[in-house]
Amino acid sequence: MERPAWAPQGIDISVPSVSRMYDFYLGGSHNFEVDREAARKAMEFLPGLPKIMQANRAFMRRAVRYAVGEGIDQFLDIGSGIPTFGNVHEVAQAADPRAKVAYVDHDPVAVAHSQAVLEGNDLAVIAAADLRRPKEILANPAITGLLDLDRPVALLLVAVLHFIEDADDPRSAVAELREALAPGSLVILTHASYEGIPLSKEEADGTVGVYRNIRNPLIMRTREEIGAFFEGYEMVEPGLVSMPEWRPETPQSPEQEDPYAFSGFGGVGRKA
């Protein structure tokens, strides 16, 4: 298969990637047939997957606007993905043109595409790093050169922790990041879960099976397990809830939303 100009040298385009599958669910164009095929397979079990992703992106934008409203002007977005539209720097800098955003992803396509999108923006960077190695993130010169970690930061862990298996100890990784942040910092987080919408066993197992087959397991966690990622932080109202229920900006009854949008949880915690 021909490698398009946007795809960096050396990536394996015969294997699906979760960031390119996510790009496909959101209607982006930075994906290959292998990604689309895996995404379509997952959607056979869970046709509402794109709805879940849209609810996730909408939550992220509301949470970023909330953070700016609370006086936060620095953002660390880990597992930032392939930029589609309404990215953290666009939302944050629309509300506060001085807002600084450091993106982190371990996927080479996400990193290359972010570099292209951020060219000419002195207040945003992308670093290639792994959430499982938080020390490297906190010491990364591109990040420490932009963000002042002695001042409050909004740390985004949006739709990324469900790709980290318990064996890789995501709780310790997140604890290390939480501890490194200054008082007044926020953690903005979403995570996939079987709780919320009533998924049949077939839908749930089928979807998880697609991700297992591409060797990027999707780890569903309970609301309680997800809440533990905020340990020591105070939850901002309304707490850890399904994504459309977190501070909706337009009055809308839940019945107007697609039921799939209520799968998974999102929340914001504040360091006292």
Which residues contact ligand SAM (rule: CB under 6 A)?
18-19, 22, 56-57, 60, 78-81, 105-107, 110, 130-132, 158-160, 163-164
Q: How far is the CB of 131 from ligand SAM (least distance, A)?
A: 4
Instruction: Output 94 or 183, the one with its CB closest to ligand SAM.
Output: 94
Q: Please report how close the Cβ of residue 26 comes to ligand SAM at its closest, in angstroms.
A: 8
Residue 171 corresponds to which tokens in the numbers above? 């709780």
Least distance CB 255 / ligand SAM (angstroms)? 25
Taking the least distance from each CB to ligand SAM, the nearer of 45 and 150 is 45
The CB-of-266 to ligand SAM minimum distance in angstroms stands at 10
Q: Which residue is nearest to ligand SAM (CB)?
A: 81
Give whichever of 234 and 242 is closer to ligand SAM, judged by the CB atom: 242
Cis before 238? omega within 30: yes
Nearer to ligand SAM, 116 or 234 (CB): 116
CA 176/CA 182 separation, integer angstroms: 12
Shortest distance in whole angstroms from residue 272 CB to ligand SAM: 26
* Residue labelled with tokens 């669910």: 25
Dist CA 212 CA 219 (whole Å) = 10
- The encoded tokens of residue 244 equal 């459309």
Residue-by-residue DSSP string for 89-115? HHHHHHH-TT-EEEEEES-HHHHHHHH
Q: Which CB atom, from 249 or from 255, has the smaller least distance to ligand SAM?
A: 249
91-99 long-range contacts, Cβ below 8 Å, gap at least 24? 91/61, 91/64, 91/65, 92/64, 92/67, 92/68, 93/123, 93/124, 95/64, 95/65, 95/68, 95/69, 96/68, 98/73, 98/123, 99/68, 99/73, 99/74, 99/75, 99/123
Choose between 215 and 255: whose C-beta lies nearer to ligand SAM: 215
Gap between the Cα atoms of 83 and 63, Å rounded: 17
Shortest spacing between CB 159 and ligand SAM, in angstroms? 4
- As beta bridge partners, residue 186 has 154, 270
Nearer to ligand SAM, 158 or 236 (CB): 158
3-state secondary structure at position 192:
coil
Least distance to ligand SAM from the beta carbon of 105, Å? Answer: 5
Residue 52 CA to its chain's centroid (Å): 12
